[in-house]
DNA sequence: TTTTTATCGATATATTTTTATCTATTATAC
DNA sequence: GTATAATAGATAAAAATATATCGATAAAAA
């Protein structure tokens, strides 16, 4: 029985902006700041205050007029909303250039994800460690996923192996794939795939630069 | 005097999806396919056909009913729209884990960006090469930007150096910064910054996973 | 105390983006 | 040739997202 379930709509753009606030808030906390207003947060992150206020709404934390939000509560609220309070284990497949960079990246761990081990099919890599985490043979992935109840897989294999390795992950019980390959994975509806697409970022940069250039040329003419 | 300028609005979401189509189209071309329909493209990329058709509109390429679009023209149209036909030179600052991965990544070169050199302030790295490109002292960046008329800078330095290095780039004449740090750069309005934010992707993954889990639990209950 | 100012939180409006509908076109099958 | 099915392209509707407005509230200043 839905006892007045407040149908809270979570907007994805807001969700994606939360880590940015979190990063700034953590810095503020280290500086000993107790309170922060959306005005100030907005200035730091380069957005309009109204955007920030709307975004923070989804955490459920409330602020005080003329004062702002309590920094520690806000941090906890965001972490809590994102489920970043308790670290989640993840496996990474494809310990190449990008894969090892990710395995050593503190930013991921700070955001609630713990890359437990890397998997590869290169005999030269298997058995060694990267940033303190061991590289295991890909074959062992399914069994370990099951035994350790790992739900998140990070995919950094070459494109032609992506689909196959992803299927292996899913068969073993992985529920979410952080996909760094260019491949659009074909998965069932119960699997969550987050594709991290460098090329779309580059496309955005290219077009924005082109626009800026055109704009400048127009101004020069007039 | 605007002689009936067809005010073509470029939607950013469409721009960001173009590289995905491009990647698939290039594969099709290698397979010798001459034509492709939005229906088929949509299936490949996992989107609705209507989305694909709307997106391809901005390239100006037209298709034929019952047939589709000519693959080579479409590739050229997308590349042309994004300015990826002629490679653009770029400098990268901060040749660490991520920086060197990017310098060796063919995907960037395929998308019209040519990382000419890397810059660092670590004496141990300066003078060596990464994936065939030399690592130069950061000090030399401004002069080389001016001499080579480089307009794009890639920022992969640690967070605490980001603002400083970005300012150095901008002062030298860099117009677009591909920012991989967590820092929200403070720049003037004529500088284009594309922030590549891993944490927002992770946030999206976390929330989508949480949702999927809740949904499944609801289904199990009923 | 009263006024002023900053800021929250709610509501409303505008804009952007997605999705649907419909018509025209063209290759293919009959 | 004519019917049929697939699909482009235009237009319209719906949904999502961003932005603006405004009253309430709390702190600081007068
Ligand atoms: N290098 C980058 O900067 C970058 C950036 C964005 C995306 N990517 C993507 O990340 C992926 C990897 O790129 P990279 O540059 O790290 O390549 P890489 O060749 O350096 O690394 C690939 C790794 O995967 C391993 N591998 C190959 N086949 C495998 C398999 N079937 N199972 C398990 N491991 C396997 C290889 O042994 C290697 O260690 C590619 O899909 C690429 O498109 C790379
Ligand atoms: N490692 C990852 O997977 C990853 C992923 C996403 C974003 N990032 C971001 O990329 C940046 C670099 O990360 P990393 O893991 O490669 O770190 P890293 O420490 O491996 O590399 C940093 C490099 O920058 C150089 N450097 C330091 N100060 C400099 C300066 N003032 N000028 C020029 N060079 C300087 C260092 O010598 C080093 O080579 C960070 O801001 C990080 O948040 C990293």
Share of chain B above pLDDT 90, in %: 91
What pLDDT shows up at residue B3?
Answer: 34
- Tell whether A219 is covered by a domain: no
How confident is the model over B29-53, as a mean pLDDT?
96
What pLDDT shows up at residue A201?
Answer: 98
pLDDT at B166 over 90: yes
The verdict on A94 and A153 lying in the same domain is: yes
pTM of the model: 0.96
pLDDT at A220 over 90: no
The verdict on B186 and B122 lying in the same domain is: yes
| CB proximity under 8 Å: A 146-185 to B | 151-152, 175-176, 178, 182, 184
Q: Where are the beta strands (DSSP E) in chain A?
A: 35-36, 69-70, 88-93, 113-120, 129-130, 133-137, 152-155, 176-179, 192-195
Q: Is the CB of A138 under 6 A from ligand 1?
A: yes
What pLDDT shows up at residue A217?
Answer: 85
Give the pLDDT band of residue B5 (cuts 50, 70, 90): very low
Give the pLDDT band of residue A23 (cuts 50, 70, 90): very high
- Tell whether B217 is covered by a domain: no
| A24: β partners | none
- Cα radius of gyration rounded to whole Å, chain B: 21
Separation between Cα atoms, residue A49 and residue A41, nearest integer Å = 8
Separation between Cα atoms, residue A220 and residue B129, nearest integer Å = 41
Separation between Cα atoms, residue B98 and residue A105, nearest integer Å = 9
How far B64 CA lies from chain A's nearest CA (Å)?
26
- Tell whether A140 is covered by a domain: yes
The verdict on B71 and B95 lying in the same domain is: no
Residue B15 is part of which domain span? 3-82
How confident is the model over A200-212, as a mean pLDDT?
97
- Tell whether B103 is covered by a domain: yes
pLDDT at A3 over 70: no
A174 Cα to the center of ligand 1, angstroms: 20
Separation between Cα atoms, residue B52 and residue B59, nearest integer Å = 12
- Tell whether B113 is covered by a domain: yes
| A178: β partners | A154, A194
SS3 B112: coil
What pLDDT shows up at residue A5?
Answer: 44
> Does B16 contact A192 at a Cβ distance shorter than 8 Å?
no
Which of residues A26, A59, A82 is at a domain's end? Answer: A82
The verdict on B15 and B41 lying in the same domain is: yes
What pLDDT shows up at residue A144?
Answer: 98
The verdict on B97 and B65 lying in the same domain is: no
The verdict on A146 and A167 lying in the same domain is: yes
How far A64 CA lies from chain B's nearest CA (Å)?
26
Which of residues A15, A50, A82 is at a domain's end? Answer: A82
Residues having Cβ less than 7 A from any atom in strand C: A 37-40, 49-50, 53, 56-57, 62-69; B 11-14, 47-48, 50-51, 54, 64-67
Cβ-nearest to A82 among B44, B152, B206: B206
CATH label of the domain that carries residue B47: 1.10.10.10
The verdict on A22 and A111 lying in the same domain is: no
The Cβ of residue A61 has, within 10 Å, a number of other Cβ atoms equal to: 17
Separation between Cα atoms, residue B202 and residue B187, nearest integer Å = 26
Q: Is the CB of B166 under 6 A from ligand 2?
A: no
How far A33 CA lies from chain B's nearest CA (Å)?
19
- Tell whether A9 is covered by a domain: yes
Q: Is the CB of B179 under 6 A from ligand 2?
A: no
CATH label of the domain that carries residue B157: 3.40.50.720
- Tell whether A71 is covered by a domain: yes
How confident is the model over A90-95, as a mean pLDDT?
98
> Does B205 contact A152 at a Cβ distance shorter than 8 Å?
yes
Cβ-nearest to A97 among B101, B113, B210: B101
Taking phi first (over 0 means left), then psi (-120 to 50 degrees means alpha), and beta for anything else, what does residue B141 get? alpha
Contact B91, B119 (CB under 8 A): yes
pLDDT at A102 over 70: yes
Which value, to the nearest 10 degrees, does the dihedral of the CA atoms of residues B184, B187, B190, B193 take?
A: -20
The verdict on B101 and B167 lying in the same domain is: yes
- Tell whether B216 is covered by a domain: no
Q: What is the pLDDT of residues B79-127, one digit of tens each?
A: 999 999 999 999 999 999 999 999 999 999 999 999 999 999 999 999 9
The verdict on B94 and B34 lying in the same domain is: no
The verdict on A115 and A151 lying in the same domain is: yes
What pLDDT shows up at residue A7?
Answer: 56
Q: For chain C, which bases have at least one atom within 7 A of a protein Cβ?
A: 5-10, 16-21, 24-27
Q: What is the pLDDT of residues A137-196, one digit of tens each?
A: 999 999 999 999 999 999 999 999 999 999 999 999 999 999 999 999 999 999 999 999
Separation between Cα atoms, residue B57 and residue B81, nearest integer Å = 11
> Does A104 contact B82 at a Cβ distance shorter than 8 Å?
no
The verdict on B54 and B109 lying in the same domain is: no
Residue of A204, A211, A219 to mutate, testing the B interface (most B Cβ within 10 Å of its Cβ): A204
- A35-36 and A88-93 strand pairing: unpaired
pLDDT at B38 over 90: yes
Q: What is the secondary structure of B117-151 as a DSSP string?
A: EEEES-TTTTT-EETTEEEEEGGGHHHHHHHHT--
Contact B81, B59 (CB under 8 A): yes
Ligand with an atom nearest the CA of residue B99 = 2
Contact B23, B82 (CB under 8 A): no
A97 lies within 8 A of chain B by CB = yes
The verdict on A192 and A95 lying in the same domain is: yes
Which of residues B47, B63, B82 is at a domain's end? Answer: B82
Nearest nt to the CA of B41 via C1' is: D7
| CB proximity under 8 Å: B 33-72 to A | 44-46
Among protein residues, the one with the nearest Cα to ligand 2's atom 21 is B96
> Which amino acid residue lies closest to nucleotide C27, measuring CA to C1'?
B66
> What is the domain count for chain B?
2
What pLDDT shows up at residue A94?
Answer: 98
What pLDDT shows up at residue B7?
Answer: 55
């Amino acid at each position: 029985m839905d006892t007045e379930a407040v149908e809270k709509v979570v907007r994805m753009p807001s969700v994606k902006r939360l880590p940015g606030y979190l990063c700034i808030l953590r810095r503020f906390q280290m500086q000993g700041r107790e309170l922060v207003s959306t005005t100030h947060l907005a200035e730091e992150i380069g957005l309009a205050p109204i955007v920030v206020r709307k975004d923070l709404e989804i955490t459920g934390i409330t602020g005080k007029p003329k004062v702002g939000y309590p920094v520690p509560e806000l941090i906890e609220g965001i972490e809590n909303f994102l489920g970043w309070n308790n670290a989640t284990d993840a496996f990474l497949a494809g310990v190449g250039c990008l894969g090892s960079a990710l395995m050593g990246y503190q930013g991921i761990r700070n955001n609630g994800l713990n890359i437990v081990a890397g998997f590869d099919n290169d005999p030269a890599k298997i058995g060694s460690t990267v940033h303190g985490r061991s590289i295991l043979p890909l074959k062992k992935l399914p069994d370990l996923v099951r035994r350790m109840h790992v739900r998140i897989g990070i995919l950094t294999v070459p494109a032609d192996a992506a689909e196959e390795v992803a299927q292996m992950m899913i068969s073993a019980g992985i529920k979410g794939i952080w996909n760094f390959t260019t491949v659009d994975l074909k998965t069932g509806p119960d699997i969550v795939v987050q594709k991290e697409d460098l090329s779309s970022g580059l496309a955005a940069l290219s077009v924005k630069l082109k626009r800026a250039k055109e704009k400048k040329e127009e101004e020069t003419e007039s």
